[in-house]
Amino acid sequence: MLDWTDRYCRYFLRLISQHSLLYTEMITTGALLHGDTNHHLSYDEAEHPVALQLGGSDPRALAACAKIAAQFGYDEINLNCGCPSDRVQKGRFGACLMKEPALVAQCIAAMKDAVDIPVTLKHRIGVDNQTSHAQLEDFVGINKEAGCAAFIVHARNALLQGLSPKDNRTIPPLIYNSVYRLKNSFPDSEFIINGGINNIEQITSHLQQVDGVMLGREAYHNPYLLAEMDILFFAHTEPAKTRLEILENFLPFAECALASGAQLHHLSRHILGLFHGQPGARKFRRLISEKAHQNNAGIEVLVEGLDMMSNYCTDRPEAEPTS
- Element at 100 (helix H, strand E): none
Q: How far is CA 56 from the centre of its chain?
A: 18
The whole-angstrom separation of Cα 153 and Cα 216 is: 12
83 is a catalytic site residue: yes
Rounded to 10 deg, the angle between the 101-114 and 59-72 helix axes is 40
Show contacts of 158-167: CB within 8 Å, 24+ apart: 158/82, 158/84, 158/95, 158/98, 158/124, 158/126, 158/127, 158/128, 159/84, 159/128, 160/84, 160/89, 160/95, 160/96, 160/127, 160/128, 161/128, 163/84, 165/83, 165/84, 165/85
CA-based nearest residue to 93, from 61, 51, 119: 61
Q: How far is CA 32 from the centre of its chain?
A: 19
Question: Three-state SS string across 126-191, please?
Answer: EECCCCCHHHHHHHHHHHHHHCCCEEEEEEEEECCCCCCHHHHCCCCCCCHHHHHHHHHHCCCCEE
The whole-angstrom separation of Cα 97 and Cα 103 is: 8
- Catalytic position from the list 9, 65, 81, 83: 83
Number of H helices, E strands in the chain: 16, 8
Catalytic residues, by residue number, are 83
